[in-house]
Chains A and B, each alone.
Chain A
């Protein structure tokens, strides 16, 4: 599909880099084509569970990046939406036998529903205060999950069944589950891309660039920020809900503040405000965690070093630096 679009579309441009397909610039369309190809062949030579983990976190990081990269809001409590998505999706699958497609949707709805009041409170403040409010609210969710009966406390919810997709496809095999996760990721990724390149996205980016000016043009910026927040929280919930099905568990780790930190790290390493950055960041961090697992707690130290190196030397992140070197938008 991607290839057809590149050839077919004309060159009517409205901005710097003409778009060729679904609002992708030519380099983005190329990268997207490569991504599709990789997603198609990778489960045959890489461990599918690892790939699914990457994709779940890539979606989570992309959702987070929607806020920080395109609206300029640093949330430090995104674990709340991810984790609650995981809990509710997992609980629905296990206790009520809800089919997986609805579990994932439910995860998204829970994330969005939680994001609405939390976002409403947090956008009243800017900068570090915004981050602190999101963190505080997320900590409340953490302690709620520790105490609430349905979450299983310290044990979490275990042995969550993956179920049967649309009543037809049994997901218990990893490869079957992989295709579902890949589809969910792609849908989320394309939705985020569309959001960024929509009339709404234009206003989002304007707010990121200069909020007082956006206000002076007559935009009620708080409404736009809240909308972006809810969308981001909802997508984080989808990622969490999917993750619960992949690993059959939803635990306190998913709502812990270190999860919020991890998603910041992934986005930063990949490149804030780039569409492919969070995916690259998630891939780098998850790969490190998996392949460096034998070094035990040194993983955290290595992660810390990478984080510092990124902030000092590659401020645009992996994808951001590549984009800059090639002078393209990615």
Chain B
């Protein structure tokens, strides 16, 4: 199995002639926090959707834990411990915060097709769900409908739900997008904490977040890998500066928004 938990070769996705992701070779080291950055439209989210099988690649292979997952279904990949979050916060809005986390814990039962049994059966997960909520500072919200939470708390809930699956590898799609400054630092601390013993691949726009968190950074532009390295080397790279400042003047604005 070795050092690499996830690797892609020649990963390509075309949409009717438009190449969103082109020949991407990515190596994610086990136990690292790996950042995937790039200007708008660089193909980061497409890349994510390919890795988690929400999209089928046009060409190329994806190997996870030494196993070819290129043709697998998204739910199967999730069962292997490769779990993603979404750019737009993904909670179950009409369920309570506790139920949200419990749905992830409930996965250990295997399938939940027992429609004739009472949901009281699920109370055995309540303690663990509460512990996870405490971890992300949501104890007081356990019985609220998830849809009522403020944005930052929704993201925290989403991370708690993801952690509840005890994934080997987490893919976080812009975990701090649209957050206030305080929320950002809380999420950064949270990601750092939950990344212990796991691998994290993280798409991020906010460069401060990336610099503080990531061991390795891959820069994507126009669907291709521009460069890879730690923050210091990547940020000094003139191509990266050109990509960010030259073609996408919005980036500084975006950071300011966040």
Contact = CB atoms under 8 A, between A and B. Distances in A.
Given A199-B121, A202-B102, A209 B95 contact: yes
Interface in B50-95: 52, 54, 73-75, 78-79, 83-86, 90-95
Contacts of B54: 212, 215
Given A202-B122, A218-B165, A209 B93 contact: yes
A33 B102 CA distance: 31
Contacts of B75: 215, 218-221
A227 B113 contact: yes
A210 interface: yes
B115 interface: yes
Given A206-B95, A206-B103, A197 B113 contact: no
A268 B152 CA distance: 34
B254 interface: no
B236 interface: no
A15 B115 contact: no
B96 A16 contact: yes
A203 interface: yes
A307 B1 CA distance: 61
B94 A216 contact: no
Interface in A28-67: none
A195 interface: yes
B103 A15 contact: no
A215 B94 contact: no
Given A198-B117, A205-B92, A215 B145 contact: no
Contacts of B86: 212-213, 216
Sorted from nearest, which 5 A-B pairs have the closest CB atoms?
Answer: A218-B78, A209-B92, A200-B115, A213-B90, A199-B112
Interface of A: 13-16, 23, 194-195, 197-203, 205-206, 208-210, 212-221, 223-224, 227, 231
B235 interface: no
B189 to A, nearest CB: 24
23 contacts: A14-B120, A16-B96, A16-B145, A194-B118, A195-B115, A199-B106, A199-B117, A200-B113, A200-B114, A202-B99, A202-B103, A202-B112, A203-B103, A205-B95, A208-B94, A209-B95, A210-B90, A213-B92, A214-B92, A215-B54, A215-B78, A217-B161, A219-B75
Contact of B119 (A201, A208, A213): A201
A254 to B, nearest CB: 26
Interface string B168-188: 000000000000000000000
B115 A216 contact: no
Interface string B134-159: 00000000011100000000000000
B148 to A, nearest CB: 11
A205 B85 CA distance: 19
B201 interface: no
A13 B79 CA distance: 30
B16 interface: no
A205 B106 CA distance: 14
Contacts of B112: 199-200, 202-203, 219
A200 B121 CA distance: 11
B109 interface: yes
Contact of B122 (A13, A199, A212, A231): A199
B2 interface: no
Nearest to A13: B143
Nearest to A220: B75
